[in-house]
Amino acid sequence: GIDEVREAVDFCRYYAQQARQKLGREELKGPTGERNELFHEGRGVFVCVSPWNFPLAIYLGQITAALVAGNTVLAKPAEQTSLIAARALELMFEAGLPKEAIAFLPGDGATLGGVFCRDPRVVGVCFTGSTDTARIINRQLAEKEGPIATLIAETGGQNAMIVDSTALPEQVIKDAVGSAFTSAGQRCSALRVLYVQRDIADRVIELLKGAMAELNVGPTHLRENDIGPVIDQEAREGLLAHIQQLKSEGRLIAEATLPAGLNGHFVAPVAFEIDGINQLKKEQFGPVLHVVRYDAADLEKVVAAINGTGYGLTLGVHSRNEETAERIEQLARVGNLYVNRNQIGAVVGVQPFGGCGLSGTGPKAGGPSYVLRFANERTTSTNTTAVGGNASLLSLGDD
């Protein structure tokens, strides 16, 4: 959609701006008689492996950061979105990108990854996708010959939102429904587990049921629809298996309605009540929300349980108590914390995006450290009084 096109443009402009600011030569102060300069140069061949859920924005963001730092690029898009990637590359060539600066590698990720991750000419991989795939890439890069390779990874999450009793329930529902179900829940940042303080849980769940009843599922080129399909049949089957399991346990809160005769890989947005985040063995990458009630005295235990998953991508907090929000910020181990708003839609340049732990290596995409990770940092120190000496001292000798 238009939001992704805008984000792709933002990445291009932001990384160009960062390159102008940070990749030139910078003089560093040192002892008198010395000139010390810091500068950056490209590392070599970078592989950029992008996902299907942001087939234009993340694809272009990775590529432009690598190119502007002085590297050449092997561009490996997701198999499901290769046509978008190919068209974007055509437009880049029309804009003046030299064709020798980039190679397009559509195809099966496992097959291609087994080749380029072991090639001694590759100096780094920029990857967005699953944590399991990132581990495989990391191991293969570690075993290859040639330079020690860089891995820049943004991976999975088990993203939660914590809601205390001071929060506004109507605002909570607006942000929770948007965070959990926008893009059919197929965002790295999407809300998976909603923790609600027991004192207001009944009211929040009542509002959640009402909001979900208003969701329209169907092809999103029709303006009346809110929720589109999941990416493919394999994804749909995995989600439906998880949904059926929780339904069999009697934990259903609400489920949106699928129109009769709707064809395609659609999954109705659904919400369940569970006992805690530890019940979830993996991220369910789709429109499935899990709700947990907690007691006020257990707030720090809730944060500890979220941290205990090992993931650290996004965390939402809804509270009108600033001390509570600040305490959660201190305890949480996440890359992106959102207070009293939704937890999707990070903005390039002002909300750099990326996680820690099992959710990625950093530095954050769309942030001030990202481009530098693609470059080698070099310094040159020159003794300006040697080899002919200081010109002002030599002039004294002429007298």
Contacts of 91 (CB under 8 A, 6+ apart): none
Catalytic annotation, residues: 154, 188
Average pLDDT on 50-55 reads: 97
Q: What is the DSSP letter of 278?
A: G
Place of tokens 């238009």: 2
Rounded to two decimals, the pTM is: 0.94
State how far the Cα of 201 lies from the Cα of 292, in Å rounded to an integer: 9
State how far the Cα of 334 lies from the Cα of 310, in Å rounded to an integer: 10
Confidence band (pLDDT; 50, 70, 90) for 174? Answer: very high
State how far the Cα of 343 lies from the Cα of 351, in Å rounded to an integer: 11
Answer for the pair 190, 344: CB distance below 8 angstroms, yes or no.
yes
**What domains are there in the chain, each with its CATH number?**
2-155+360-383 (3.40.605.10), 160-339 (3.40.309.10)
Answer for the pair 162, 334: CB distance below 8 angstroms, yes or no.
no
Confidence band (pLDDT; 50, 70, 90) for 31? Answer: confident
Query: Which one, of 336, 372, 365, lies nearest residue 349 by Cα?
Result: 365
Per-residue confidence (pLDDT) for residue 2, from 0 to 100: 87
State how far the Cα of 338 lies from the Cα of 172, in Å rounded to an integer: 12
Answer for the pair 39, 54: CB distance below 8 angstroms, yes or no.
no
Determine phi and psi for 380, rounding to 5 degrees.
-130, 125
Averaged pLDDT score across all residues of the chain: 95
Per-residue confidence (pLDDT) for residue 1, from 0 to 100: 79
Please check the confidence at residue 256 and state whether its pLDDT lies above 80. yes
Query: Which one, of 66, 310, 378, 124, lies nearest residue 58 by Cα?
Result: 66
In this structure, is the dihedral angle defined by the CA atoms of residues 260, 214, 173 and 359, taken in order, positive or negative?
positive
Q: Rg of the chain over CA atoms, in angstroms?
A: 25
Answer for the pair 33, 390: CB distance below 8 angstroms, yes or no.
yes
Token pair recorded at residue 82: 């290769």
- Which one is predicted more confidently, 373 or 33? 373
Q: Which residues pair with 197 in a beta bridge?
A: 294
Per-residue confidence (pLDDT) for residue 397, from 0 to 100: 52
Please check the confidence at residue 394 and state whether its pLDDT lies above 80. no
Average pLDDT on 121-138 reads: 97
Confidence band (pLDDT; 50, 70, 90) for 177? Answer: very high
Per-residue confidence (pLDDT) for residue 377, from 0 to 100: 96
Per-residue confidence (pLDDT) for residue 30, from 0 to 100: 87
Please check the confidence at residue 390 and state whether its pLDDT lies above 70. no
Interior angle at CA 207, CA 206 and CA 213, nearest 5:
95
State how far the Cα of 384 lies from the Cα of 360, in Å rounded to an integer: 44
Q: First vs last Cα of the chain: how many Å apart?
A: 76
Confidence band (pLDDT; 50, 70, 90) for 32? Answer: confident
Average pLDDT on 263-271 reads: 97
Query: Which one, of 194, 201, 183, lies nearest residue 53 by Cα?
Result: 183
Answer for the pair 289, 194: CB distance below 8 angstroms, yes or no.
yes
Query: Which one, of 209, 203, 199, lies nearest residue 164 by Cα?
Result: 199
